[in-house]
Structure 1
Amino acid sequence: MKSRARLVAGTAAALSATLILTGCGSKSSDGGSGSKAESCVDTSGDTVKLGFLNSTAGAMAISEQTVRDSLNLAAEEINADGGILGKKIVPIEEDGASDPAIFAEKIGKLLTSDCVAAVFGGWTSASRKAMLPVVEGDHGLLFYPVQYEGLEASKNIYYTGATTNQQIIPAMEFLKSKGVKTLFLAGSDYVFPRTANKIIKQYATELGIEIVGEEYVPLDKDDWSTQVAKIVKAKPDFVFNTINGSSNVGFVKAYYEQGLTAKTTPIISVSIAEEEAPSMGEDLTGQYAAWNYFQSVESPTNDTFIKAFQKKYPGRPTSDPMEAAYTSLYLYKNMVEKAGSFDVDKINAASDGVSFDAPEGKVTINGENHHIAKTGLIGQINKDNQFDIVWSSDGPIEPDPFLEGYPWWKP
């Protein structure tokens, strides 16, 4: 893997230095214990424990609960089909409570006290960066299901959501195709929006799009009235929304209260999906979102997935992050079975080229950077809070988390 400096938050670094995580002793029946820390994973019986670590409390619960639900669906399906290497999945569930420090604490518990073989979860980049030094230190595996700002790769993390060149860059190319000349950036105040907007600003210069404003509000705050007043004054052609969680509710409320509409000042979002749209408290018809999966994707595989999810969770829509989480569990199964082992090093050695016929389409793991190829999609919200796909990339986009193929990018 290419040697790269990882942008780990100071809080996460401090946590990794101070957390004292006690191992359980090596019990792995497949003989592997990892090169960095002794594994306590026990696969000698007919079950394997996996950690599901998602926020079911706090600002991010509005988004992360659906990820937890899709992981449980995938686990039930896999168990019904014989499990992983003949072993049934036993989920160990923990709540990250929308707090990066709690995510770091809980992943340590899952890996060293619960002795899970892998962990699935996280949403914000702050939560992922808090978990990164812990999962690396304990030589575990984390499957992270959400689009993020890129500029990272770890041999202990698999990124099944989009990296920047699979979501942010396609969104900008869509805006260019729409003739957009001016753009306002609105984001939550943490690592993903800040980094994403740095990339957006550099690509905007390349595309000849002027950034006429840039505003941030803390993730746990929902008063956007002052910031939206600046959007009204700037009169941009579009607003690029990198707000996460329930703070979107406050943003959308202020947006409509101050007279903005999808016709006058449309929004393109990267964190509002089918699950969040009905919760915004306003009619979002006509607004846009950039993802790699929508419920409206037409394929027999997606039809089967939607029916299974809605049978288990009646009346609920499917969305990109939960589809990426669902896909991650199947990819893990396929990786383990290719390796013939639950050992981290053996899984990593076998990972390149492992694929899954996912609801979004066939996905394949890049064993070098642990990302997957994904098709970029732009959807426009209709009156049913579903997304009509109005733009698509020309097939799956190979992951380029460090933007090495984009000469305009300067870290």
Structure 2
Amino acid sequence: MLGEGPVSLLGSARAPGPLHAVGAGLPGEFRRRDRQKLRIAHFTSLTGSAGIWGPPSVNSAILAAGEINKRGGILGREIELVIHDAGRPPDELTRAAEDLVACDDADVVVGCHMSAARVSLRRTFKGHLPYVYTPIYEGGERTPGVLAIGETPPRQARPAIAWLAEHKRARRWYLIGSDYVWPWLSHRAVKRYIADTGGCIVGEDFVSVGEHDHSRYLDRIRTIQPDVVFISLIGLDGIVFNRAFGECGLSARILRLANCVDETVLLGIGADNTANLFAASGYFASVPTAQGEAFRAAYHSAFGDFAPVPGSTTQSNYEGLYFLEAVARRAGVLDLRSLSAAAEGSVYSAGRGALGMRRQRVEMPIYFAEADGFDFRLVEKF
């Protein structure tokens, strides 16, 4: 049902249990809403290459909404989530956003999806709705009303590259990424960081989103023999590539630094294919922090021990609602201009601990980890 259109999470919303999902296919269903509640349009990828993160993303948002509502909601208004699939084709996604604005069907937008979708959505929401964007991205978001809280290359990729250069003598790098804005701009920054360490780029390729035949790229890697393969393939595409990389024997002698691999992706890759795979992130489920452990305990209490593990990408949905709560409290109102002004210097606490926004980005510790079967082993904290 989730993949067929927007979904409203109605009910008391005071804890994850009472929330229930109902289809939103009936005309006008969402126009008849309770204006006393805070309607949040939650755009997250439920289909497409990034759809692997859909279920734990929705779970994480539901959990945060339930916890916040138990404390009285945001500025006294109970949160009501409406889930929209951001993995739809661009024209469908744009129409959904235009309809949402035209019908005044949301007070705030929260998004966890590809940057290509963000670029499309921000054009529609600009000047109309505040828009909290939660996952890792390429940085540099300055659109008025868009508040991006995820990891960016200077804090995430730069220290990881420097660590591999120092500790693994990594000099020759091959870059591969999905063919859209996040890998394009991330690689531009990564090339500078590699040059700063005295390294060089021996190859680079961009792969169409949804393309799963990587044989020619693996042949190229086998020929040029880089020290490290830097990977910016999104979601399922990254799973397929990394699995093939391990299965053809390259992982035994070539390092990998993955730009967006979390526990969800690691499970898909398989324990036999994760040798010499490194990742840097603001959150790993295996990092033993008090806030992280509290989040995981609450998550599994709400959704069961066998619920999909929330990694960095999916946990960011939880962060997004707590960030919104903190900024709204600071602003005292929920209009776009006031929230944007209050975001700078704001501090909030969620699964990653106490974090603050400075210069339009959230400052957070970055953890550098090596894959160890189906889990990550912490190597360094930056």
| AA at the equivalent of 2:333 | S
Provide the residue aligned with 1:313 in structure 2.
Answer: 303
Q: Does 1:134 align with 2:103?
A: no
Preserved CA contact (<8 Å) 1:48 1:87 = yes
Aligned to 1:84: 74
SS in 2 for 1:294: coil
The alpha carbon displacement at 1:152 in A equals 2.7
How far the C-alpha of 1:294 sits from its partner, in A, is 0.6
Any residues of structure 2 matched to 1:157-306 within 5 Å, and which? 157-178=146-167, 179-261=169-251, 263-281=252-270, 283=272, 284-306=274-296
Q: Given residue 51 of structure 1, which amino acid in structure 2 is its aligned partner?
A: A
Calculate percent identity across the aligned residue pairs. 26
Query: Where does residue 334 of structure 1 map in the other structure?
Result: 326
Q: Are 2:336 and 1:344 equivalent residues in the alignment?
A: yes
Q: Look up the SS of the partner of 2:235 in the other structure.
A: coil
C-alpha distance in 2, partners of 1:280/1:176?
25
TM-score (norm 2): 0.85
What is the rounded CA distance, in whole Å, between the counterparts of 2:301 and 2:352 in structure 1?
19
Shift in alpha-carbon separation, 1:168–1:109, aligned structure 2, 3 A? farther
1:280 Cα deviation from its structure 2 partner? 2.1
Aligned partner of 1:163: which letter? Answer: T
Alignment of 1:364-403 (within 5 A): 364-366=356-358, 368-369=359-360, 371-383=361-373, 385-393=374-382
**SS in structure 2 at match of 1:172:** helix
> How big is the shift at 1:329?
0.5
Residue 21 (structure 2) aligns with:
none
Secondary structure at 2:175 match in 1: strand
- Determine if contact 1:107/1:119 at 8 Å carries over to the other structure: no
Residue 177 of structure 1 and its aligned partner are, at CA, apart by 2.1
Name the CA distance, whole Å, in 2 between partners of 1:98 and 1:389.
35
Residue deviations 1:303-349 (CA, integer Å, cap 9, x gap): 11001111223223221122222111111112112222111122223
AA paired with 1:256? G
Distance in 2 between the 1:349 and 1:43 partners?
A: 28
User: What SS does the aligned partner of 1:342 have?
Assistant: coil
Give the Å deviation of 1:293. Answer: 0.8
Quote the Cα distance in structure 1 between the aligned partners of 2:166 and 2:91: 41
**Greater strand proportion:** 2
C-alpha distance in 2, partners of 1:359/1:327? 7
Post-superposition offset of 1:122: 3.7
Please tell me whether residue 357 in structure 1 is matched to residue 349 in structure 2: yes
SS at match of 1:53: strand
Q: Is the 8 A contact 2:286 2:376 kept in 1?
A: yes
The worse-fitting range, judged by mean Cα deviation, of 248-257 and 356-365 is 248-257
**Structure 2 residue ranges without an equivalent (≥5):** 1-30
The one-letter code of the counterpart of 1:146 is P
> How far apart are the structure 1 equivalents of 2:175 and 2:132?
29
1:382 Cα deviation after fit: 1.4
Q: Distance in 1 between matches of 2:340 and 2:217?
A: 45
Give yes or no for contact 1:54–1:65 (8 Å, CA) kept in 2. no
Structure 2 counterpart of 1:165, which letter?
A: P
Q: How far apart are the structure 2 equivalents of 1:285 and 1:70?
A: 29
Cα 1:122–1:323 shift into 2, 3 Å: closer
CA contact (8 A) 1:111 1:117 kept: no
Superposed displacement of residue 256, structure 1: 2.5
Distance 2:340 2:243 in 1: 45
Q: For structure 1, which segment, 182-191 or 317-326, has the greater mean C-alpha deviation from structure 2 after superposition?
A: 317-326
- AA aligned to 1:225 is S
Higher helix share: 2
- Against the structure 1 CA distance between its residues 387 and 257, is the aligned structure 2 distance closer, same or farther, given a 3 Å change threshold? closer
Q: State the number of aligned residues.
A: 348
Partners in 2 of 1:155 and 1:140 — Cα distance? 10
Deviations 1:162-185 (A, max 9, x none): 122121212222222222111111
Give the unaligned 5+ runs of structure 1.
Answer: 1-40, 394-411
Shift of 1:286: 4.0
Distance 1:63 1:208 in 2: 36
Work out the CA distance in 2 between the residues paired with 1:191 and 1:176: 26
- Note the C-alpha offset of 1:155: 2.1
